[in-house]
Structure 1
Amino acid sequence: MNTSYADEKNPRSRPGDTAPAATATATRSALARARTALIWVVLGWTAGMERLDDNSFLTHLRTGRWILDHGVPHSDIYSYTVPGTRWVAQSWLVEVLYAGIAESVGPTGIRVLCGMLGAASAYLAYRLADRAAGGRGRTVVVLVPALYVSSLYWVERPLFVGVLAFLALVWIVEIPDLAAGRRPLIALPVLMWLWVNSHGSFALGFAYLALHLLGRWADGHAPWKDRERRLLQATGLAFAACFLNPYGAGLVLFPVELLTRGEALQYVHEWKSPDFRTLAGMAFAAWIVVFVAVLALARARPTRRDVLVSLPFLLLGLWAMRNAAVASLVGLPIAARLLPAAPPPARRPRLDVALITAVVLLVVPLTRGDLAQPPFDLSKYPVAAMRAVEGQGLLGRRLFTTPAWSGYVIHRYWPRQRVFMDDRFDMYPTAFTVNYWKVRHGDARWRATFERYRVEVVVWETGASLTEILSASPSWRVLYRDRLATVLVRR
């Protein structure tokens, strides 16, 4: 019986090797892998341990503190426009983790957590590709573009946890001889329960499992036999376990409800199709080119299962850029399996040991210096503008600002200051959100909107169309202005 799907195409042993030669080769190979793994771990650690500046994270951190004090919220607590609206805090488990770390060791601990997530993600991706290639392929060809695309989303948001969970799922499915792969009836329910309470991307995990089982069936492995049967049973148990959460069916159905808000999501950058003129779009395009080239040039044809799994995820990445974070990881072991075999690099063990030591000695002091910096980077937020609002005694008035800046307002000034709207696009009514985006871009209905919600203070981007319109209006006066933000107050 094959011990992994990788072994079906890449046997890892060569008949005829003598014992001493095989031992020496194994030692050199182990050191080479350790050196390569360390490099990937360091890159993942560096990518994850950036200073905290994501606006969604600021809201998640505040929510986590609320949960620790009051329990999981079931209705809106941050806005003055739709207070009491039903709200499913989909990432409540990660929010509690954020708040717990911040309360116990400070926000720098969250940076360390993200660094660990990055290191774990990079290591798992490297080892996954290496195992899929049977340890004999030049996996860097597919690792670099795949991990670069995914790492663009390795920021301090619950999506980061979702990416790591997806990698763990791919390991369970792709490497059957792994401890978790041998016990899917335990591993899958535990993983999916953690995932469903951490981020809505858990739905992509179930989609991956379904596509895998259908693909294996198309290859002649029926889902009611052997390992596929255990995976199918484990998927059913995992789905049942997902209902064990503070919101019941509401949390499980969250991704479905979110997709019904397509009219509102079309304005959100990460829910748009890739713009191939941007760095993220070009990176995803490069991954698609590499993936297709590997499949086209491989001596062996990809299995039906590989095509059935990879193609829908590539299309999901083309539909919404945020899906690219996992689309590249789905194709990583598939492409690695089809890479041509390469001879092991001729490296001396002493050189590998020296390289490993040098990397460690270099990274440790750099990490210490990086952690000595302030944990938050708030340079892109209207810090000075909000201080002006506070200094003029205007906190608590009806404030209108951008969704991203609302995250900072919630983090710094809530509950003294509530917001018009923030980036919880899954909660605000669709018609309300669409109207907001039109006003944001200077639509003439801003007057009716401001009157309806009795907006009194506006903190907006300097030079933006709405700022210029309000500056020219006799009903508004400029209270403060800098390069980033302008504060306008109703006369």
Structure 2
Amino acid sequence: MVPGHGPEARGLAQIGVRLLLVATVAVYALYAASEQVTGADLWWTMAAGRYIVDHGAVPRQEVFSYTYDGAPWFNQEWLSQVFYYELYRAGGGLALALFKFAAVLAAFGLATWIGWRRSGSLVFAAGTAVAAVFVCRPFLDIRAQLFLFLGTLAVLAVVEAYRHGARPWTLALLPIVMLLWTNLHFSFVYGLGLVAVLAGVEALKLGPSRPRARWLVAAIFGAGLACLANPRHLQALTLPFVMLGREGAWRSEIIEWLPPGLFRGSYLNPAFFGYFLAAQVLVAVTAAIAAPRQVDVGDALVVAVTAAMALAARRFVPLFGFVSVPFGAKNLALVRERWLAGRTGVSVAELGGAALACVAALAVLAVRLVPEARATLAAGVFEGLTDDAYFPHGAVEFLRQNPLPGRLFHLYTWGGYLMYWLPERKVFIDGRAQQVYPLSFYRENKAAEYGDPGWDGVLDRYGVALIVWPSERVAAGSRYAVMLRQLRQSSRWGCVYEDGQAAVFAHVDRGRDWIDAYRAFTLRYPDLPTAQLFLVNAYLNASRYAQARAHLVEVLGQFPKAAPLTQQVESRLLDTARTAGAAGAWFGVGFYRDVRGDGPGAAAAFRAALQRGLSDPQASYAREALERLGPGPGP
């Protein structure tokens, strides 16, 4: 004992440090939950949930796409779909965001608790959990996969509690967990294996004749039977393997199925994973050498299998992060016990070190990481978490306001959003991937998305009449820019809507109703400044200058944000006019000056346009404008 530090003071210090450790894990877990992950899968999940609620049945055939309408759809995640849809319907996006925060907090809390129970050290458990935050954070999306993490940690927690003397009825929780898991996410097969390995190894350690061992065996059988309580019964146990075997090439097409690149960071590939994995291996080997008899075979097998899964496909990286928290904490404790043999309890120095580490970790979070999270959530909690600005809100509203016929083509990642917000229109493809669509079709879709040679043949083959596509600002620097350029240059497609986020193109034949309505100005446009400015440009392109002027005046009065956009257009036209002397550019400068009330400047620009040979119908409008505006200075 250190002089001046009595047992009571030390006990209070231990409580204080424990609270600080718990708070540190909680704050870092919330930071992990604040990561922005584009919610492409969330929207098709909720669309499916709405369908199930409305029809009172889980669909067995495809109902959302026209390309594979009626094809078999093995929907194993129906319960998570209903859950997310009902949660959204009851509380909106905020309810979903709060669930994500609660689920992630619960996952890291369970991992830390299990690690504490195994190692006897909250310091090691909390430290490993905080490190795991940087492994798991990029993957924590609001989708069914969250239940993989919660189910895994629930199984680990039940087995851990039983190891430490919990009553046999505790094992009844395992079949309950598996009953829910089998209807929430495909990964329940992993959960069943987890139960079999952990409970089976524990039963062998106890001895088959021991009553507590028999309860473990019963729990394994109970969990297996619970997995049959799903719409497909026994088939559900084999289908994940069948799908991966039959369509295994999907794993080379979808980024989350690709192997991670160790020690280098990219999308869904945290560089820290490589270092975390190496540290876990190093500590595990050291612990096995220091205390070989105390290494649990079941725990080691679970972590090894999960590590192999994570190295094969990055979607399992966060799963490894969670299961390795208890494993790493125990191994650190074994190494510490070996190095400090004979020491019991925790020294004041160790308590002080733990407290300082917590304060430092929280300071780093406050100074460097909290601003990042605040920027993500500035547009709204749900909007920030799901990258809501990525989706084509205005284009969807435009399609909703104009119920003309036409088959859609769109980004793969926009399919789910269209499924939810445009239920009256069937999609081309969506994020359900191999659950519905064959790999050959996915590759056709990608060829069209990227504007590869033959893209128009793909659209012809499926009778596409409308294309919802990212605008230049969004497509810039991506492969989608090629397709956008092809559409702009094609005489077979005409742009009937654009808002700076997305554009809608109609085929001149298959989308004839849209083209005719656009030319007749009978289409309705959403109350967005960019959408209304597109309508102004449509009037200008049709040489309906008086209507364009009247509508632009109305837009500027209704949307203050439209003024900077029109000023940018005017500035670009003025630069062109001064450098190239183009009559059309001077006409445009005059038009925008006139709208914003600069009569003399508008008159000067119109005169410059006429002097440079401006032709009708622009010339006629310019003369009429000069009569209305009167003389003005030079441009």
**CA deviation after TM superposition for structure 1 residue 191, in Å:** 0.6
Look up the equivalent residue of 1:281 and give its one-letter code.
P
Deviations 1:351-392 (A, max 9, x none): 99xx9xx99xx99xx99xx7993643520112233445456x
Q: Say whether 1:310 aligns with 2:319.
A: no
Change (3 A) 1:333 1:344: farther
For residues 121-270 of structure 1, the aligned pairs below 5 Å read 121-135=107-121, 137-177=123-163, 182-183=168-169, 185-212=171-198, 227-260=212-245, 261-270=247-256
Alignment match of 1:477 (pick from 480, 483, 494): 494
Conservation of the 8 A alpha-carbon contact between 1:76 and 1:82 = yes
Q: Does 1:104 align with 2:90?
A: yes
Confirm or deny: 8 A CA contact 1:271 1:321 kept in the other structure: yes
Contact 2:66-2:426 within 8 A present in 1 as well: yes
1:334 Cα shift?
Answer: 1.8
Aligned counterparts of 1:148 and 1:78: Cα–Cα separation in 2? 36
Counterpart-to-counterpart distance in 2, 1:230 and 1:434: 50
The TM-score with structure 2 as length reference comes to: 0.65
For 1:355-374, what aligned pairs fall within 5 Å after superposition?
373=380
Task: Give secondary structure in 2 for the equivalent of 1:157.
Answer: coil
Deviation at 1:292, TM superposition (A): 1.3
Query: What is the aligned partner in structure 1 of residue 545 from structure 2?
Result: none
Q: Distance in 2 between matches of 1:296 and 1:166?
A: 24
Deviation per CA, 1:297-354: give whole Å up to 9, x if none: 3332444444422222111001111111211222222221121448355669xx99xx
For 1:278, the equivalent position in structure 2 comes to 265
Q: Distance in 2 between matches of 1:27 and 1:447?
A: 73
TM-score where L is the length of structure 1 = 0.82
Provide the secondary structure at the position in 1 that maps to 2:142. coil
Deviations along 1:167-195, one digit per CA (max 9) or x if unpaired, are: 11111223425687743541110011111
Q: Distance in 1 between matches of 2:165 and 2:406?
A: 57
* Percent of residue pairs bearing the same amino acid type: 25
1:54 Cα deviation after fit: 0.7
Greater Cα shift, 315-324 or 184-193: 184-193
Specify the alignment match of 1:43 in structure 2. 28
Residues 142 and 290 in structure 1, CA contact (< 8 A), matched pair in contact too: no
Separation (CA, whole Å) in 2 of partners of 1:223 and 1:258: 37
Contact map agreement 1:267 1:437 (CA 8 A) in 2: no
CA RMSD across the alignment: 3.5
Q: Between Structure 1 and Structure 2, how many residues are aligned?
A: 460
Does 1:79 pair with 2:65? yes
Whose helix fraction is larger, Structure 1's or Structure 2's? Answer: 2
Deviations 1:384-410 (A, max 9, x none): 33445456x366521111121111111
User: More deviation in 66-75 or 481-490?
Assistant: 481-490
In the other structure, the counterpart of 2:565 is none
* Aligned residues of 2:134 and 2:270 also touching (Cα < 8 A): no
The aligned amino acid for 2:432 is: R
Q: What SS does the corresponding residue of 1:458 show, helix, strand or coil?
A: strand
Show the counterpart of 2:466. 457
Paired residues of 1:136 and 1:344 also in contact (CA < 8 A): no
Verify: 1:290 aligned to 2:279, yes or no.
yes
Q: 2:330 aligns with which of 334, 337, 344?
A: 337
Q: What residue number does 2:99 align with?
A: 113
- Describe the SS at the equivalent of 1:281: coil
CA distance in 1, matches of 2:124, 2:85: 42
Structure 1 residue aligned with 2:457, among 444, 448, 456? 448
Deviation at residue 225 of structure 1 after TM alignment: 5.4
Confirm whether residue 92 of structure 1 aligns to residue 81 of structure 2.
no
Instruction: Return the alpha-carbon distance in structure 2 between the equivalents of residues 181 and 266 of structure 1.
Output: 46
CA distance in 2, matches of 1:313, 1:452: 43
Deviating more after overlay: 281-290 vs 136-145: 136-145
Instruction: For residue 495 of structure 2, give the secondary structure of its aligned residue in structure 1.
Output: strand
Find the counterpart in structure 2 of residue 489 from structure 1. 506
Paired residue type of 1:315? A
- Alpha-carbon distance in structure 1 between the residues aligned to 2:167 and 2:178: 14
Decide which of 291, 294, 317 is 1:300's aligned counterpart: 291
* 1:423 corresponding residue in structure 2: 431
Contact 2:10–2:348 at 8 Å: present in 1 too? no
Q: CA deviation digits over 1:441-473, x for unaligned, max 9?
A: 334343332222101112234352333333333
Counterpart residue number, 1:59? 44
Could you say what secondary structure the match of 1:410 adopts? helix
Change (3 A) 1:337 1:84: same
Which among 304, 314, 323 is matched to residue 316 of structure 2? 323
CA contact (8 A) 1:458 1:488 kept: yes
3-state secondary structure, aligned to 1:190: helix
In the alignment, structure 1 segments of 5+ residues that lack a partner are 1-15
Distance 1:109-1:303 versus aligned 2 partners, 3 A rule: closer
Q: Which residue of 2 aligns with 1:378?
A: 388
Contact 1:162–1:199 (CA<8 Å) still a contact in 2?
A: yes
* Larger RCO (CA within 8 A; separation ≥ 6): 1
Segments of 5+ residues of structure 2 without an aligned counterpart are: 341-345, 509-635
| C-alpha contact (below 8 Å) 2:197/2:302 kept by paired residues | yes
Separation of aligned partners in 2, 1:402 and 1:84: 22
Q: Who wins on radius of gyration, i.e. which is larger?
A: 2
Deviation at 1:216, TM superposition (A): 5.8
Report how far residue 60 of structure 1 moved. Answer: 1.5
SS of 2:63 mapped into structure 1:
coil
**For residues 213-250 of structure 1, what are the alpha-carbon distances to aligned partners after superposition, in whole Å with 9 as ceiling and x for unaligned?**
67668x86666756454333212211111221233334
| Aligned counterparts of 2:18 and 2:299: Cα–Cα separation in 1 | 26
Deviations 1:85-108 (A, max 9, x none): 222332222222222223333332
Q: Secondary structure at the match of 2:406?
A: coil
Alpha-carbon offset, residue 428 of structure 1: 1.7
